[in-house]
Amino acid sequence: MKTVSIASGSKGNCTFIGFRNANILVDIGIPCFLLEERLGQLNIDPKSIDAILITHEHCDHCSGVDVFARKYKTKVFMHANGYPYIRQKLNKLPDSQIICINGSTVFINDVMVSAVPLHHNSGFCVSYSVSDGKSKVSIATDTGHLTEEILEHLSGSDILFLEANHDERRLLMNPNYSPYLKRLILSPQGHLSNTECGTALAKLVKTGVRQVILSHLSEENNTPEIAYTTVKNILQKHGIIEGENVFVDVAYQHKVGTVFEME
């Protein structure tokens, strides 16, 4: 199994998850030419992508799906509850390439994909977990809070992409954000802060999570250094040592992230 963040942040998101019999992209919120360029850096042939999973309809997660999927004839998966919102963003994509997840799971070749709802100011947003029975990769971004159902869904992940969107103080002091936008981001339908991310991770480490990638960082209200330090300090307060009990990495907006591989 191989997984890597191709882009992460408010200007576009895309994650690659590759198994022996299935190559998957979660979201494409960057232009097709940029995705092709970054896949090339990873020696991944765009034609080898078997499926695209879409979390929700916001442009930073689906703006590049239409062009890429039509060019490479890639199947596009989405939760049935999100279909009405996502479909209008993919108005050129043939129905034959769209597959709705009607229950909680679907198989792409021999890889199982499970989805649970997140809490975000969108029509319908989900977290995905992808597993071949040996390795499990999960992605949870764009959520204002994490319920016990979501934590259970993420538990035991070998690799977890978890939102650490903002530092609360930086957000509240940001003169470029309106009071309304600040309230929305901080609300249960907004985005996870660094503190909320660290608190959730302290619980998830106990379920076996050993590698987390802090994701969807705000370029204005966060930095990789602040996110990492905040999460590390929270884990330490719970007796969890970063670098021993769990490893913390950061995903970036403008470059490919760390490649993680497992047998």
3-state SS, residue 169: helix
Q: Which of 220, 225, 223, 227 is nearest to 164 (CA)?
A: 227
Q: Which of 115, 214, 116 is nearest to 161 (CA)?
A: 214
CA angle 252, 246, 202 (to 5 degrees): 95
Are 261 and 18 in contact, with CB atoms under 8 Å apart? no
Instruction: Report the interhelical angle of 65-72 vs 32-41 (nearest 10°).
Output: 70
**pLDDT at position 14:** 98
Structure-token pair, residue 26: 């979660």
**pLDDT at position 223:** 98
Domain 2-261 indexed as CATH 3.30.70.100: no
pLDDT > 90? residue 124: yes
**pLDDT at position 81:** 96
How far is 128 from 154, CA to CA, in rounded Å?
A: 9
Percent of the chain with pLDDT over 90: 98
Structure-token pair, residue 212: 């987390």
pLDDT > 90? residue 104: no
pLDDT > 90? residue 199: yes
Average pLDDT over residues 12-28: 97
**pLDDT at position 189:** 97
**pLDDT at position 103:** 81
How far is 180 from 187, CA to CA, in rounded Å?
A: 10
Q: Which of 121, 61, 47 is nearest to 90 (CA)?
A: 61
How far is 194 from 120, CA to CA, in rounded Å?
A: 17
pLDDT > 90? residue 183: yes
Tell me: the pLDDT tens digits for 134-178?
999 999 999 999 999 999 999 999 999 999 999 999 999 999 999
Structure-token pair, residue 203: 């619980």
3-state SS, residue 177: coil
**pLDDT at position 263:** 79
pLDDT > 90? residue 208: yes
Which residue ranges make up each domain of the chain?
Answer: 2-261
Pairing of strands 136-140, 126-131: antiparallel
Pairing of strands 105-108, 98-101: unpaired
Neighbours of 168 (CB within 10 A): 17
- Mean pLDDT, the chain, as a whole number? 97
Q: Is the pLDDT higher at 77 or at 91?
A: 77
Instruction: Return the sign of the alpha-carbon dihedral for residues 6, 259, 51, 85.
Output: negative
Tell me: the pLDDT tens digits for 24-65?
999 999 999 999 999 999 999 999 999 999 999 999 999 999
